[in-house]
Amino acid sequence: MTVNAVVTLLLLSATNPQGQVGGLQGALDPQVVIGAAVSNSLSQSHLFAEQVGWEDERGRRVGDWLTRLWYKSPNLVYLESYLNGTMVLRVVADGSKVWRYNAVSNEYTFSVQPAGLPQTLQVMASWARREDQWLLRLLAGSSNWLVLPTVQFNPSPATIREVVQEKITWSGVDWRGERHTFRFDDFYPSGKMSRLVLESKTDTPNGLRHSLYDTTFAYPAQFGFQIAFAPPQGAKPAADLPGRIGGG
């Protein structure tokens, strides 16, 4: 049996210590709520996001991922991605160019950075690994990997706001599909992104594939480094770099 996608947004009330849950208070478009949180996050001077993830096939771990992203207003972004503890990718937007360094091949290239931050993040997403694209696309203002559902909100004594999506096909006591959880640090419309958890279970010819990516967001006053790119020692220009030197 397939259950239709449902997203529930809990707007949580700190003024309800008895834990009483009120009735339906209204309905909101989840894209509006998520979009407001992302916009509030990017309006901060600095944002740091850390994504920890893993993928299993038939109960066997096939990869452990770590991604760190630093954003400095208005348009500086630095991303590093690690697989099993080894850096595999660096993508940097320095205000003039978007750089991509492939640590596996030890090659780098660049593209002229677009004027807008959303467009910059979309370029970075196109150059990033699959595991990092959800985060970059979310910050770019695109969460179209969500199914648009009806959203309800009720008061609650809890302190975390949550949006959950499930596209589930039940198989015995297990589930297949996706669970997306968004958490914000305050009420809509003032809340910022606090946490994003993406979990997926899919049947493949190789057996069950199970993945989970858990991202936390922080807003420091500053970073201890400048966002810029310098080719690592011994790195080679990628084959397409000469054509880009003129600004392409």
Per-residue pLDDT tens listing for the chain (248 residues):
332 333 344 333 333 333 333 333 345 677 888 899 999 999 999 999 999 999 999 889 989 999 999 999 999 999 999 999 999 999 999 999 999 999 999 999 999 999 999 999 999 999 999 899 999 999 998 876 665 444 555 444 434 456 666 777 766 667 888 888 888 888 778 889 999 988 889 889 989 999 999 999 999 999 999 999 999 999 999 986 645 444 43
140 neighbors 151 (Cβ within 8 angstroms): no
- β-partners of residue 68 are 50, 80
β 2-10/46-57 pair status:
unpaired
157 within some domain: yes
Domain count, the chain: 1
Give the pTM: 0.82
Range of the domain at 86: 2-221
In a domain, 229, yes or no: no
Q: 164 Cβ partners below 8 Å, 6+ apart?
A: 6, 7, 8, 179, 180, 181
Residue 238 located in a structural domain = no
21, 153 Cβ separation under 8 angstroms: no
For residue 73, being part of any structural domain is answered with yes
User: And the tokens for 186?
Assistant: 């305050």
Q: Is residue 231 part of a domain?
A: no
Q: How far apart are CA 247 and CA 1, in angstroms?
A: 54
Does 243 map to a domain? no
Whether 9 is in a domain gets the answer yes
User: Residue 7 sits in a domain of what CATH number?
Assistant: 2.50.20
On whether residue 245 sits in a domain, the answer given is no
